[in-house]
Amino acid sequence: MGFSLYGVELASRLLLGTAQYPSPAVLADAVRASSAGVVTVSVRRETGGAASGQQRFFALLGELGVRVLPNTAGCHSAREAIATAQMAREIFETDWIKLEVIGEADTLHPDPFGLVEAARELTADGFRVLPYCTEDLVTAAHLRDAGCEVLMPWGAPIGTGRGLNNVYGLRALRAHHPDIPLIVDAGIGLPSHAAAAMELGFDGILLNTAVAGAGDPVAMARAMALAIEAGRAGFEAGPVPMRDMAAPSTPVLGTPFQ
């Protein structure tokens, strides 16, 4: 059930954020329960605390044996995001970066112009960019032209838990870009939302609030992992097409009364 990002094979299709957990112990248990092989880390948050706390956090990630995907959360311009990405490469010794350039404060809607500008410059500098974007087809095309080999469209605004707000748009994005990994990032609130995204043919899900904010984050992490696995299996099984009219599952030919 694994997949590949930038040539790296991952055993799990679930990527997990590390913010807002009740404690480091709960975070560690949630990562293990989810079987996630990648966790995202906000560079600003992890570099802004006390040195001892930062070192403990890094040690915890090392113990979990997960790949770290730094992100540029909170950046509102291409310049800011590029500088944060460069800092992340030094801290985490990775050329992977989850690129966020926020354009609107209330919805945390990505700024498509700043996003493409930052993606182009970071790719030229050797980064492997995973951009947080919307389902907009034009933006997606420009991000691919900028060198992105993965796209991470939202299901709904960050932290809302609303699921897939625009199924039509997400389905169109998948159809227009069948040859690269697409990961739904943001808006997932329930396991059913995650399963629905996977049933559309998406390659993975990135979660944070849905797990960290749950009453039992560890149980929710496990539930999300199962939903993602089930949704992918359902997609690969080839679901029956929808119909406008009923179709009996039992043949009527040969019944005593017709």
Give CA angle at 108 (104, 114), nearest 5°: 60
* Cα atoms in the Cβ-side hemisphere of radius 13 Å centred on 215: 0
Does the annotation place 47 within a ligand binding site? no
Sequence-distant (6+) residues with CB within 8 A of 121 are 78, 82
DSSP string for 194-239: HHHHHHTT--EEEESHHHHTSSSHHHHHHHHHHHHHHHHHHHHH-P
* Residue 122 bears catalytic tag: no
Please check if 159 is assigned to a binding site: yes
Chain CA centroid to CA 23, Å:
22
Any binding-site annotation on 49?
no
Catalytic residue of the set 13, 98, 144, 232 = 98
Binding positions = 159, 186-187, 208-209
Q: Which residues are catalytic?
A: 98
Binding positions for 1-deoxy-D-xylulose 5-phosphate = 159, 186-187, 208-209
